[in-house]
Structure 1
Amino acid sequence: MDLGNLAQYGRSRSTTGWATNPLRRVVWWLIAPYFRGAATRIDAAINAKFDALVAANALDASVGAGSSASAAEFGKTWQERLSATVASQMGGLRKDSYAIAQRLAGIEEERGTLTERMSSLMREFYSTTDGFDRRHGQLEQAIRDVQAQVASHPDDKGLVVAKSPSGDRLLVRQHDHIGRRIIDGEEWEPHVRKAIEAAADPDGIAVDAGAYIGIHTMTMSRCFSAVHAFEPQKGIFQVLCGNLALNERLNVTTHNVALYDRSSAMRLAPQDHQEVEVPIRDGQPRYERLKNAAALSFEIAASGEEQIDAIALDALELDNVRMIKIDTQGSDFHVLKGAKQTILRCRPIVIFEWEQELAALHNSTMKDLHEFFDNIDYEVEILHETTPKRQLDYIAKPRLGA
């Protein structure tokens, strides 16, 4: 702090001005009188007092009888001593004011440090509260999820009978994505149902690869003389059979196996290869907690793993197959390869699904599918677009004259 500036202007060179520093302003009011002509005024007062004493002859009386100094000399000496005393006192005041100024500067520095620390603490506080809010929100969501599960799962089975728009009675799980749609009176994949009805052949055979609980199997059983339905999941396969029994569809043959391009063993794909969260108990999916059992993916199994049998459709040597519907969560191309001889022999309508990410897990591309159908003289067109360029249903038909 510059003491000269303090005396002249009442402020320091600090970036913090007096107008915004109440402490400095109070101290300045206390010490300002000593720096605004105080020395001059004190000297003037001393001279005035001295002159008054001389005029009243008080000075002679105050001089001792043994003094040899003249009144003028004594007055001069007395004035010099008083001036020296004043100068000494002023020097002390300057030192005191300098100490005060130094302390003020220290307080300012401490205040800056405290302000920065307070800002840091506030940032930490807001960061902590933001984290708390996020965790609190996650906890509330988890509570809502549990409450929804408890409300949706009065027992471990969770199966109810619902009537589909086509009039079929279906066992469905209340919390399942497709089951809930049916309970609410909605039709699942009406575009597939229309394509099945358009290809109807009362003397022909239909194949449902990935039958799930039998929604499209029911339509096929009305439109064809016989149906072969394939569903690899044991828990879902049991519901499929129950639905066929409920509706007395005796022309459907069920197969608790997967279709692929060869006879092999398959397994439930790991969680990072699944579209949905798959709760597991004793190596099996917990269907009473699974939100979309139709979305489960399977892949070739290694020795010693929990396995599901897989076969190629060609191994059944079926004749007069008029329609094949494939919905196998990414392995559709491999199912087609395993059905190539059947397709060449019977020339059926083929409906299949394309899911880009899941197909990549089976090392197949859309180009592979187009080449497959080109080689057997089929034309392919989009039947329904669920997610543009990622999830679509296609229909393939033999080219005219082929």
Structure 2
Amino acid sequence: MRLHEYQAKEVFSDAGIPTPDSALAESVEEVVEAAEDIGYPVAVKAQVHVGGRGKAGGIKLAEDRDEAEEAAEDILGMDLKGYTVEQVLVEGAVDFVNELYVGVTMDRGEGKPVAMVSTKGGVDIEAVAEETPDAIAREHIDPAFGMHPYQARKAVFDAGVDKDIAMDVAGVLTTLYDLWSDKDANDAEINPLMVTSDDEVIAADAVLNIDDDALFRHPDLAEMEEDSYEDDLERKAGEYGFDYVRLDGNVGIIGNGAGLVMTTLDLVDYYGGEPANFLDIGGGAKAERVTNALDMVFSDENVDSVVFNIFGGITRGDEVAKGINEALESLDEIPKPVVVRLAGTNAEEGMDILNTDLVQVEATLEDAVQRAVENAEEEQ
């Protein structure tokens, strides 16, 4: 479960991490009222789960009432990378002299949590990791003992953080790890952790993603779940019971089994396409579930083509074929081309059932993916 920035900041602030004064707003009037209560200048920030909000126009600074009204009018209701902005966070602008990055996640290669610090905050940390990996100091942690104080200090000094603020940053990193551990988080990040001219550190952004399977241990966080949906698609996925992640591409992907779906995503990328989603319909999927999956993918305006990759174990190919037929035959017009690859249990029966007037059929996964990528290119 992904928390919105304002929700994550509430958790961080309660734990003692400094955050700017802020208020949530859903209308122009509420934005102006919050800005005047906080005091100008303020930042008006779209509350949607996408990166690069600033570059996309989802974050604006306001020096006075007129600019606050203009920022609210521009951001509220805007389409931000496919998501409609319904809420904004109004917070006091931070007069900063430097931006840092601190984060905690699981290093699955090492099988341990890893704490990270970088002086290259305020930018895409994934790009920093790829282009200049040495700019990120890493410290692996034994979860049996937690983060020792010396580990936090070592990570901060290895990153080259100025000594005047090093201990404060180490304190923030320690608290962040404790939250990551106590809240059963997948990721906990602050980017940027701003440094003021008075050598104070303030969390200007906040990321906290919680393991869904651990929510029963955190009823306070579970209450936030409905508000943390990214958009109508994610809400629909929750209603259908799908494992679904929306991505930035235009090739819709449906498969049964996480590994099979991930393989399909990789192949779409390999053949020059861009995946639009991760959608796992699970094992033993019946016709209704397949119909719901197609409804999900067709509801994404970014999707230009769809590829079905089904390998039957407990999932039967004929049931999948029935679901595809039912979904497509109920439509007056097929919104996007659909490519199907069936293998495994009752695959031959499924291939015989498929209405080839409505779908394109390929015998191999590679051929199916290549065709879906070509379809997406033609639709653009």
Higher relative contact order (CA 8 A, sep 6+): 2
Is the radius of gyration larger for structure 1 or structure 2? Answer: 1
Name whichever structure is richer in helix by fraction: 1
Q: TM-score, normalised by structure 1?
A: 0.23
